Amino acid sequence: MSIMEQYGMRSNRGWSLTCLLAFSCLWGCSGGTESGPSTTSGGTEEKLTICLLPKIKGIAYFSSCAEGAREAADELGNVELIYDGPTDGDPKKQAEMIEQWTVEGVDVICVAPNAPDVVAGAMRDAQDAGIKVLTWDAEGVEGTRSFFVNQATSQAIGEGMVQAMVKDLGGPDVEGDVVIISSDATSANQNAWIDVMKPALEKTKLNLVTIKYPGENASNALADAQDVIKKYPNLKGIFGISSVSFPGAAEAVEQMGKSGEILVTGLSTPNEMKRFVRNGTVKSVVLWNTIDLGYLTVLAAESLAQGKLKPGDTAIQAGRLGEKPIAGDNILLGDILVFTADNIDQYDF
């Protein structure tokens, strides 16, 4: 239950900024929050409160991001990190959490929006209340954040997956059908990658026959993969383009005895996919360093709150990562990583 619901207020965009600020004052005076921009009795400024909101809490991908975020918070020393999110990927619950943190008066909210339109209003309300807002992992609606901590460009990710599939199948002359298993149809980053994958596939001899949207649900992804395996007799490959759909699709191929016959590639953590690489169901896993993504997000959030990160900056000092470029309002982590049988055991996340 959100804070607004506890006070009998509906959690929609209709309540005014005046009410928001009034409740923020009430909440702060009541001692209901553990942190906020205030001072101790000795006059020392308290820690910044930074909230890290994943699309879905409890899966390996975002847990590894949280690991990097905690590393950054510990390194900085002036950050109280709150990592929380819906366990079912419900974007309405994301919006409610943003609303709650806004009432509590935190310093920065870092959002990985599952459905950008659903959380846009809450993000704007947070900004109107003086809270800094970043997006990370997935982009939001224009005007709802200051910066986007971008793990890699959509071009690099989309083309990287197609190149991996073509290579894994034996080269550019291989013909056959492929399918994409995404997450939610409203997921901004998956849709951006698909927009890159389609023209990249048109340059090959592979035929994209369908796209499935099982949501952030491994069982649904497994079922969708089983369905396409039965439906398309010339199926050569499956792209699992979320960290949930990829292992679900690989599990389906393995269960149906198609390992090595139908290849699966996509985006997930190396630890999640090691057994499928070892048994030949998967040859390539495409991703980025998720620990570094969480680490960079918290460093950027702290810099933004302290006024060290400003519009127009072209680079940010990112601790152990060194200097990271900023393109417009996108803070760029770097290139994709491709994990194979040759290197996957070198990574532990």
pLDDT at residue 280 is higher than 50:
yes
Q: What is the pTM of this model?
A: 0.82
pLDDT tens across 29-60, in order? 333 333 333 333 344 558 999 999 999 999 99
Predicted local confidence at residue 40, as pLDDT: 36
pLDDT at residue 25 is higher than 80:
no
Domain coordinates of the chain in residue numbers? 3-151+290-333, 154-287
pLDDT tens across 286-320, in order? 999 999 999 999 999 999 999 999 999 999 999 99
pLDDT tens across 235-260, in order? 999 999 999 999 999 999 999 999 99
The partner residues of 153 in beta bridges, in order of sequence, read none
Stretch 21-34: mean pLDDT: 35
Q: Tell me, letter by letter, the H, E, C secondary structure of the chain.
A: CCHHHHCCCCCCCCCCHHHHHHHHHHHHHHCCCCCCCCECCCCCECCEEEEEECCCCCCHHHHHHHHHHHHHHHHHCCEEEEECCCCCCCHHHHHHHHHHHHHHCCCEEEECCCCHHHHHHHHHHHHHCCCEEEEECCCCCCCCCCEEEECCCHHHHHHHHHHHHHHHHCCCCCCEEEEEECCCCCCHHHHHHHHHHHHHHHCCCEEEEEEECCCCCHHHHHHHHHHHHHHCCCEEEEEECCCCHHHHHHHHHHHCCCCCCCEEEEECCHHHHHHHHHCCCEEEEEECCHHHHHHHHHHHHHHHHCCCCCCCCCEEECHHHCEEEEECCEEECCCCEEECCCCHHHCCC
**Residue found by looking up tokens 């991996």 in the block:** 164
Which amino acid, 11? S
Q: Which two tokens stand for residue 64?
A: 């590894």
Please check whether the two domains, 3-151+290-333 and 154-287, share a CATH topology: yes
Model confidence at 8, in pLDDT bands (50, 70, 90)? very low
Q: Could you give the percent of the chain with pLDDT greater than 70?
A: 87
pLDDT at residue 218 is higher than 50:
yes
Predicted local confidence at residue 45, as pLDDT: 59
Please give the CATH superfamily to which domain 154-287 belongs: Response regulator (3.40.50.2300)
Predicted local confidence at residue 5, as pLDDT: 35
d(CA 301, CA 88): 26
Q: Which CATH architecture has domain 3-151+290-333?
A: 3-Layer(aba) Sandwich (3.40)
Predicted local confidence at residue 301, as pLDDT: 98
Stretch 172-177: mean pLDDT: 96
Stretch 127-133: mean pLDDT: 98
Q: Could you give the percent of the chain with pLDDT greater than 90?
A: 86
